[in-house]
Amino acid sequence: MSSLNLTREQRVLIDRAAAQHALKQYEILTEIGSTKGDNYLGVLHIITLRDSTGKQISLILKTAPLDDAVRLQGRMPQVFKREAFIYGKILPEFQQIQKEYGIKKPFLGAATYYGSDLTEKQESILMENLKLNDYQLCDRTQPMNEEHIIVVFSEYARFHAASFALRHLRKEKFEELTKDIHYSVFQNPTANPEETAKVLENYVEAGVKSIKGNTKAVAALEKMKLNIMDLFKNSMVQGRERFVVVHGDCWCNNMLFKYREKNPSDVCFIDWQLSQLASPVKDLAYFFSVSGSKETYRNLNRYLEIYYRVLSENLKEFKLNPEEIFSFQDLMEEWNNNAYYGVFISLMVLKLMLSNSDEAPTLQGAYKGESILASLTNFQTTKSSEYERRLVDLIEFMADNKYI
């Protein structure tokens, strides 16, 4: 059990959730909901509510770290504000428009949200505990198989379709909702370009050093390093008319799967704090790069075709023409422009995925004035050879197909 001292506002959120489940005169049991290396932008607590009859519900309370340096480095107020906005404003609009048009297979891949408190140093988000509904995490150290990749691509297609629908059918509403999420909470459009370039180049250089024994992969990564600022700039302006609300943080620990006869049937996405307005391929490239393998990389075109088929089906149910809204040619153009991001994010995330709990980094690098990229990359792992192998497989695939 944990020794969590609930604030008054957290109790209000919990009371509200209990009322929705007709739970009265209940006791509250708390326990830690994650271990080191599972979550980097919040602390998870399992909240169990149980009444005298034995009826109970299980919730997840996500709270912000209190350490000042970590809060500054992790931009905790902005992180919690963004996630609460997605849960409280964006996703309900998607649900509403899907219901209005009677979408047969709508986007359902998000936890039930019970509310949030954004008070400084008390930031909290309360949601359902998906594990009590038979959802579970994958082994983060292992690549996902084809069945998992197809389930994720399909659910992202439904999510993006709802965003496209709101953009084209409720234009003013969409513009109002997304006016403050054009950038990630970790992007600063007014930052000094030279300083930003240095941070990005140093980050990629760390990746180069980790694969220095592979000439082909090193050459591809060196090329990407030279162009990294232009790649980021272009990805923020090219194809803006095709931008949607994206999940943004697409590694395996932010996805819980439900299974039917040992095969994944459903997926729910959590941790929406990096959500923003961007190319839909940002979700696909991130997820595919960190979760794929040499065996599944070669099937990329098939997964993109499945994604597009699901997207098209839902767009048609919204009475929209897929060819006009987002054609398959548009998808491939977006992939070519944004696939680099999968490699970029993998330099950090693959290492995090493979690390043991005792090796996993923290944001304590803030004390040394490091960037968040450096804080979550500059650490030692006993899985360095596995990290190198998976990174090389990815980079060679991307380079062979001229995606980087």
Q: Is residue 1 included in any domain, yes or no? A: no
Q: Is residue 257 included in any domain, yes or no? A: yes
Beta strands 276-278 and 43-50 are unpaired
- First vs last Cα of the chain: how many Å apart? 48
Average pLDDT value for residue range 48-69: 93
Average pLDDT value for residue range 6-24: 95
Strands, DSSP E only, in 261-395?
A: 263-269, 276-278
Q: Is residue 45 included in any domain, yes or no? A: no
Amino acid 190: pLDDT: 84
Contact at 8 Å (CB) between 183 and 189? yes
C-alpha of 375 from chain center? 19
Amino acid 217: pLDDT: 96
Helix (H/G/I), strand (E/B), else coil: 320? coil
Beta strands 244-246 and 276-278 are antiparallel
% residues pLDDT > 70 (the chain): 95
The residues pairing with 45 across neighbouring beta strands, listed in sequence order, are: 32, 61
Residue 314 sits in which domain range?
65-110+131-400
pTM of the shown model = 0.95
Side-chain-facing half-sphere of 69: CA atoms under 13 Å? 11
Q: Is residue 44 included in any domain, yes or no? A: no
Dist. CA 69–CA 352, nearest whole Å: 21
Amino acid 38: pLDDT: 60
Q: Is residue 8 included in any domain, yes or no? A: no
Average pLDDT value for residue range 284-306: 98
User: How many other CB atoms sit within 10 Å of the CB of residue 373?
Assistant: 20
Q: pLDDT category, 3, cuts 50, 70, 90?
A: low
Amino acid 352: pLDDT: 93
Whether pLDDT at 1 is above 50: no
User: How many other CB atoms sit within 10 Å of the CB of residue 40?
Assistant: 20
Amino acid at the residue 269: F
Amino acid 305: pLDDT: 98
pLDDT tens for 324-368 read 999 999 999 999 999 999 999 999 999 999 998 787 776 655 445
Q: In the chain, how many domains are there?
A: 1
Q: Is residue 11 included in any domain, yes or no? A: no
Amino acid 69: pLDDT: 82
Which residues neighbour 400 within 8 Å (Cβ) at sequence distance 6 or greater?
Answer: none
Q: pLDDT category, 369, cuts 50, 70, 90?
A: low
Average pLDDT value for residue range 5-26: 95
Q: pLDDT category, 161, cuts 50, 70, 90?
A: very high
Q: Is residue 253 included in any domain, yes or no? A: yes
User: What is the CATH number for 323?
Assistant: 3.90.1200
Q: Is residue 31 included in any domain, yes or no? A: no
